[in-house]
Amino acid sequence: ALMDKGNYRHFMAKEIHEQPEVLGHTLSRYIDLGNSRVKVPGAEAVDFSKLNRILISACGTAYLAGLVAKYWFEKYARLPVDIDIASEFRYRETPVAKGEFALFISQSGETADTLASLRYCKENGATIGAVVNVPESTIARESDVVFQTIAGPEIGVASTKAFTCQLAVLAALALHAGRQRGTVSEAQEKDLVAALGSIPGLAVQALKCETSIEALALPLSRVSNALYLGRGTNFPLALEGALKLKELSYIHAEGYAAGELKHGPIALIDENMPVFVIAPHDSIYEKTVSNMQEVAARGGRIVLITDQKGADASGNAAQNTVILPDVPEIAAPIIYALPVQMIAYHTAVFMGTDVDQPRNLAKSVTVE
Ligand code: G6P
C-alpha cells in the first residue's frame, strides 16, 4: 500500500498532499509543543556553543533546503554557515578542521557526491551530522548523528515532501543551536516552537490554493522561459521553483535573488516572460515590491505568491496573485514550497510530460 498512488494521478500529487501529515510526524519528533521547547534527539553529539561555523553540503533540492538553513543558523544561532553543492565541495580542497561540524542533507542517503563530501569531512576530523529520509542508507550509517525526516517513501523523482520535512528538521536544529549558544531566549523559543507547530495546519490551508494554481498553469505550459524571484529565505525557494519547473515541464527557468534583478535578468523581461515572485508580507516585502514595479514597467507578467497583506500592498504590479494564509516568518519557506511545487506539477500535467519520471533524471544519483 506504501507504493500506491491512492486516488492521485501521480505519486508527486500524492506526495504534495501528504505534506501536512508528514510534516506533523517530523515536527513531533523535533519539537515538544506541550513544553514549547525544541528537542532534537542526538543533538548532544554536537556542542554548538563551541563552534565557529557549520559546513553544509548536499545536491539538488536537498542543497536548497541547506541554503534556507543557512539563513536560519545565522539569524537564530548567530552561527556562520559555509554551504556548497556537494560536487563542488568534494573537489574544492576546502580546509576542514578537527572538531568542526559538517551537515549533509539527502533524501535517499545514497547520493554519490554528498557521500564523498561526507567522507572528506570525516577524514579531516569533523563531526558528521546528516538529515536523511532513509535511516538505513549509507550516509546515515557513516554519520555520527542522524536527524531523520519522517517523510515516508518518496517515489516521484522530483523531491517534494522530503524537502519540506528537511526544512522542518533544519529549523528545529537551528533553534536548538540558538538555545545552546544563548542567542534564542526562552520566550523566543516558545514563540518559534508555536510557529513550527502551526505548520501542518497552515500546509492544509496552503494546499487549498491548488485550483487557482491550476488556472495559472495552462497559459504557463505555452511559454519557453520563466523567472522566479525571492529575497531572504524566499531566494532558495525561487531557485527551487525554477528547478522544479525545468525538471518537470522542461521549460527553461531561472531563480534569482530579487535584488539581483538589475544585474542581469531584467534584460530578459518582456511580455513573454512570466515572473514568479515569492514574497510573504515580511520585513523586506517593500524591497520586493520595487523589484515587481521594475518588472511590470517592462511588460513582464508577474505571478505574485504572497499573503493577503502582501496582495493589498502590491500596488497592482501583479497580473495574478496566489494568496496564502498569513504565516510566521520561520514557517514561510515550508508553506511557500507548496504552491511552488504545485505550479511545476500542474504545468507538467498540462504539457503531458512524465511527471513522476522526467526524462534523463534519476531519483537517486549514486554515480558521479
Ligand atoms: C536527484 C533528485 C532530486 C534530489 C537530488 C538529491 O537529482 O532528482 O530530487 O533533490 O537527487 O538527492 P538526495 O537523495 O541526496 O536528496
Q: What is the ipTM of this complex?
A: 0.96
* Closest listed residue to residue 220, CA positions, set 244, 187, 190: 244
- As given in the structure block, the three cell numbers for residue 319 are 497580473
Please give the backbone phi and psi of residue 226, each rounded to the nearest 5 degrees, phi first.
-150, 155
pTM exceeds 0.90: yes
Q: What is the pLDDT of residues 11-35, one digit of tens each?
A: 999 999 999 999 999 999 999 999 9
Using a 6 Å cutoff on CB, does residue 106 contact ligand 1?
yes
pLDDT by residue for the chain (368 residues), tens digit each? 457 888 999 999 999 999 999 999 999 999 999 999 999 999 999 999 999 999 999 999 999 999 999 999 999 999 999 999 999 999 998 999 999 999 999 999 999 999 999 999 999 999 999 999 999 999 999 999 999 999 999 988 899 999 999 999 999 999 999 999 999 999 999 999 999 999 999 999 999 999 999 998 888 888 889 999 999 999 999 999 999 999 998 999 999 999 998 898 888 898 889 999 999 999 999 998 999 998 899 889 999 999 999 999 998 889 999 999 999 999 999 999 999 999 999 999 998 888 888 888 888 888 88
Q: Residue 199 is which amino acid?
A: I
Q: What is the pLDDT of residues 198-231, one digit of tens each?
A: 999 999 999 999 999 999 888 888 888 999 999 9
Residue of 12, 15, 57, 59 with the most ligand 1 atoms within 8 Å of its CB, for mutation: 59
What is the Cα–Cα distance from 227 to 256, expressed in whole angstroms?
A: 8
- As given in the structure block, the three cell numbers for residue 291 are 523589484
Using a 6 Å cutoff on CB, does residue 361 contact ligand 1?
yes
Q: Residue 277 is which amino acid?
A: V
What is the Cα–Cα distance from 43 to 235, expressed in whole angstroms?
A: 28
**Active-site annotation holds for 363:** yes
Using a 6 Å cutoff on CB, does residue 251 contact ligand 1?
no
Ligand 1 centroid vs 236 CA: distance in angstroms? 16
Using a 6 Å cutoff on CB, does residue 155 contact ligand 1?
no
What is the number of the ligand 1 atom nearest to the C-alpha of 108?
A: 14
Percentage of residues in the chain with pLDDT exceeding 70?
Answer: 99
